Amino acid sequence: MPPPPSSGLPAPPNAQYPPQQQYPTYATAGSHYGQLSYPHPAPTHQQQPTLVSAPTGGSGAPPYPIVSYPSAPGTSQYGTLCSSQATPTPGAPPNQMGVSIHQYGSCQPAPTAALHSGYSVAPPSHLGPTVNGQGSTVHQQCYHRGGYVPYGPAHSGSPTHSSTGADPPHSGTPSTSAHSSPDRNQGLQYPYVANSGASAASPTSTGRIAAHSSSSSDEEEEEEEDEEAGGDTSSSSTGSASPVPNSYDSLEGGSYPDPVPPSNQTGSYGSYGYSSMPPAYQQGPASHADSSPGHAPYNPLGYNQFSQQPFPNLSQLSAALGGLSGVPELEVEALRPVNLLQERNLLPPRPLEAPEPNLSPALKKVNCSPQTFRCTLTSVPQSQALLNKARLPLGLLLHPFRDLQQLPVITSNTIVRCRSCRTYINPFVTFLDQRRWKCNLCYRVNDVPDEFMYNPVTRSYGEPHKRPEVQNATVEFIASSDYMLRPPQPSAYLFVLDVSHNAVQSGYLQYFCASLLENLDKLPGDTRTRVGFLTFDSTIHFYNLQGGLSQPQMLVVSDIDDVFIPSHDSLMVNLKESQELVKDLLTSLPVLFSQSRETHSALGPALQAALKLMSPTGGRVTVLQTQLPTLGAGALQSREDPNQRAGTKEVQHLGPATDFYKKLSLDCSGQQIGVDLFLLSSQYADLASLACISRFSAGSVFFYPSFHHAHNPAQLERFQRDLERYLTRKIGFEAVMRIRCTKGLSIHTFHGNFFVRSTDLLSLANVNPDSAFAVQMSIEDSLADSSLACFQAALLYTSSKGKRRIRVHTLCLPVVSQLSDVYAGADVQALTCLLADMAIDRSISSSLSDARDALVNAVVDLVGAYRSSVSNLQGGGLVLPAALSLFPVYILALLKQTALRTGSNTRVDERVFAMCDLKATPLPQAMRTLHPDLYRLDHLSDKGALHLNDAVVPQPPLVRLSVDALSQDGAYLMDCGPVFYLWVGRRCSHMFIRDVLGRPDYASVPPNMTHLPELDTPLSERVRAFIDWLQENRAFSSTLHVVRDDAPANSTFFQHLVEDQSEAGSSYSEFLQHVQQQVSQ
């Protein structure tokens, strides 16, 4: 049915998704949009940029003041996206939903007009007042299969494969390993071409119910457009007449109504997804001379407006680098030879910061923050041969959706992009004159749109080079309808809860329901936010929460072999309208299942039901599981043998036992559903198989081994803190991310949780601020003609308020031709994290021993390359440049990390979780997990202390991770990321124990102390201020354990002293001797 003519009125805030009107997901969204109109309001007065503090996102979320830049005067603002669907008329729920049944067995069919075909209601004689022997306010209804006919394609089963929007991944040609040598095991192949994600042949939806878009008035948009991503409001769109693409591959690529002139490129590239483009965007230069990197700027006669301040061209930007003379003192220090066998105390006094690229001050000022975008080599080699000679991998580490203190949000009808490679305009492009700019990735010359001539900051015309897009390396655009396949979805959250006997005994359900009740109003979203609940044991329980009911109603489906949805209208409900029913349900659930004796777990069928329930809209599924799935699809059997966990034998079962969860995850990704897994298990649960449901749907994995609410209070506290952050952190829906790089560079492997849709496009059903990604790169064409290499990541997503947004990050690095320059710019922490990702992939695809050998060879090859090519050392010694002096100890720490260590004390689930965590964790957190920071606290001084908010925050120096660096009369704080350990020596001073721990002496310190008392002593205040300062910018707060020297728990503390010998590996000195022997061979 065609929609009514647009009236410019916003859709009602509680717009639903009726199943009777459906649109194929990736096929007919364009026709749906083609029937919508986008009215243009009258021109308004130009507004000044405003600085607005967005609402806090929950515990630990910092405020996010956002600078918003309105459009130029006289240009059209965003119109209202009108919905073509009518609001469902509220009415009474179907009468059969009120039937209260406690029987899980077969039910006799009873005809009723309100029932759909295939459903039956038990006769009244089967009714009972209790469920599982407990009184409850939740009514229960039993449904069984009986000639059930699906409602439509959206619920007919798994989606079919799509022929559009999913290009095959670029495989490339495998190169010889940069770490291979005739007499050693093969190392990690840095140019190795592999794909860490799923195959690009992802199934996509066969049908999707069209979504409403709740639009605000023009006044509301002007107030809300500058809110922070994830805390913004409903969708807006421009009056663009550009066609809407029908696949996500072309979606982020954008589109123009007119074709690109053939004179400006060497060939046609098919769709905007570059399906026929060779690797690394190897398009030829533009036909005119201006497209070459070193061409002089175009300066026509009579163009005098910028005669005093000309636009810099690429050559002028490159000349500002001055070779290696920009920071000579840092350069000399980075290349200072360090003999590792003689210098043991290599740690800096403070944790390492990311090295600064050797750029001019002007480029440094506008470059992307290393917390967001980081390269393993801050000086990019100009050729693959030079990169191979350096024996180091080239890669990027991205944290694209991280929480930001300030984010420029740009509201404009024109998003300026290169017409050839589709790069977003950024601070590193070259303006040839006032009307033309040259792309810094493909060097094509583009026209400057008229609207871009207006500068909203200075409220003046003729200064495109001063626009906020060109002054900030990280910006966010409010996207137009060109970037939508359908109206933006509402925030939708489905909670899938294990309620088996094992789950009830662990006690998690009570604390989960209490936490969700407390944070219900903090869930990211707006008036359209939808929630639903699904519980399971040997059967699946749905909950009718439709507004107007007096109490929630349970609907039970016992046919787990062919799961169906008993009701399509009342299981995912508007949170605002049904909030009281949701609260009633959360209060009742722990009591309802408190006497359950059902030991089986039908996780697979529950996930199948969740997919069908969420397919119309997409959203986030949160799964809480406590045991191995035992029934239905996806049932698993225990594969762990404690006698074969490790030791000298190879670690088994690091890969999934079945592809069920991977296939289901790909189906979820095709329907824009992300699945997050909380595993609270006391026994083996085969996380290697279960984690696939989150890995390929861009979800997160949380693991709490030996969880019990009473027996393990530390895990309970961590679970509660993690859950609070999880429920309140910002979220992006139906996202895609594309990474572009300078012509000549190529991307060949991704690491993280995602689905690879094409060579450079990641599909992210959900994106959260705590997930990171890594990318391996190679150099396919020489960069000798370029002095700068640039990388750009564009994240297109729907905010929780229903706005389509594009967050763009651009990184600029110098290109160098000398090996010494490559070493001087090496980022040792980024190298370690990328090698960790590569080693984890190797351990799964090959074996753990191969991965460990490859890491050792990485150190051996680096030392050998530096000895032969740079230092020219003829004698003995183990020498590396200062910039890489910590590389061996970081690799040793990685070899002893839970993911890759040997020894029989590591459970398979714990190892697999450590692997999942390393691959999806931002660099700072990953490094604290690998190589913790150790500080001495009993000798705090004011030297270098920070004075923040009337508090003195001491800055103690770092201590080596060795027992030799510890003193029995001291107290040391170890920062492992999620956990702090405060180790107290047996001869620690009584003053520290009294003033900080509040105990009279060492013997009175309890063995399970997890909090520091707030004592009114200077030392207590400074210790607590320092710990609070360490946690200040962390997403997940850390737990604290006070460890006495003679307590059994000190073994956990000592296993993090990576420089000492342990079951997990050799000592640091033994490791260096082994490396020296290998280099000498």
CA separation, residue 262 to residues 43, 266, 268, 295 (Å) = 37, 7, 8, 21
Question: What is the maximum span of the chain, computed from C-alpha positions, in angstroms?
Answer: 96
The answer, yes or no, to whether residue 825 has pLDDT greater than 90, is yes
CB 625 within 8 A of CB 679: yes
Question: What is the model's pLDDT at position 252?
Answer: 62
Question: What's the chain's average pLDDT?
Answer: 75
Query: In whole angstroms, what is the distance from residue 876 CA to residue 1080 CA?
Result: 9
Total count of residues recorded for the chain: 1081
Question: Per mean pLDDT, which range of 41-50, 238-247, 443-452 is the poorest?
Answer: 238-247
Backbone angles phi, psi at 705, to 5 degrees: -65, 150
Two structure tokens written together for 1003: 């013997």
State the average pLDDT over residues 11-29.
36
Query: In whole angstroms, what is the distance from residue 352 CA to residue 819 CA?
Result: 23
Query: In whole angstroms, what is the distance from residue 849 CA to residue 649 CA?
Result: 9
| DSSP letter, residue 995 | I
Question: What is the model's pLDDT at position 251?
Answer: 54
State the average pLDDT over residues 216-241.
32
State the average pLDDT over residues 811-818.
96
Query: In whole angstroms, what is the distance from residue 828 CA to residue 826 CA?
Result: 6
Using alpha carbons only, what angle is made at residue 405 by residues 698 and 493, rounded to the nearest 5 degrees?
A: 35
**pLDDT confidence bin for 1050, thresholds 50/70/90:** confident
CB 6 within 8 A of CB 37: yes
3-state secondary structure at position 1064: coil
CA separation, residue 218 to residues 42, 221, 476, 1035 (Å) = 10, 5, 20, 35
State the average pLDDT over residues 342-350.
88
- Name the one residue in this structure whose structure tokens are 């609260």: 583
Query: In whole angstroms, what is the distance from residue 918 CA to residue 925 CA?
Result: 9
Amino acid in position 206: T
Residue 460's contacts (CB-CB under 8 Å, 6 or more residues apart) are: 454
Question: What is the model's pLDDT at position 181?
Answer: 37
3-state secondary structure at position 375: strand
E-only strand ranges, 155-292: 208-209
Provide Rg for the chain, Cα atoms. Answer: 30
The pTM (predicted TM-score) of the whole model is 0.75
Q: Which of 590, 510, 576 is nearest to 545 (CA)?
A: 576
Name the helix (H) or strand (E) containing 407: strand 407-410
Half-sphere exposure of 324 (CA within 13 A, CB side): 20
Which value, to the nearest 10 degrees, does the dihedral of the CA atoms of residues 422, 424, 430, 435 take? 80
Question: What is the model's pLDDT at position 872?
Answer: 57
Task: Please give the residue that has the higher pLDDT: either 974 or 100.
Answer: 974
State the average pLDDT over residues 941-964.
90
Tens-digit pLDDT profile for residues 772-805: 999 999 999 999 999 999 999 999 999 999 999 9
**Residue 182, burial from CB neighbour count under 10 angstroms (0-12, 13-18, 19+):** exposed
The answer, yes or no, to whether residue 313 has pLDDT greater than 90, is no
Most confident of the ranges 185-189, 469-473, 864-868: 469-473
SS3 string, 573-602, reads EECCCCHHHHHHHHHHHHHHCCCCCCCCCC
Question: Per mean pLDDT, which range of 140-149, 410-419, 756-765 is the poorest?
Answer: 140-149
State the average pLDDT over residues 607-614.
96
Question: What is the model's pLDDT at position 49?
Answer: 38
**pLDDT confidence bin for 56, thresholds 50/70/90:** very low
**pLDDT confidence bin for 189, thresholds 50/70/90:** low
Residue 791's contacts (CB-CB under 8 Å, 6 or more residues apart) are: 373, 375, 396, 739, 740, 741, 742, 745, 810, 811, 813
Tens-digit pLDDT profile for residues 672-707: 999 999 999 989 999 999 999 999 999 999 999 999
The answer, yes or no, to whether residue 583 has pLDDT greater than 70, is yes
CB 464 within 8 A of CB 446: no
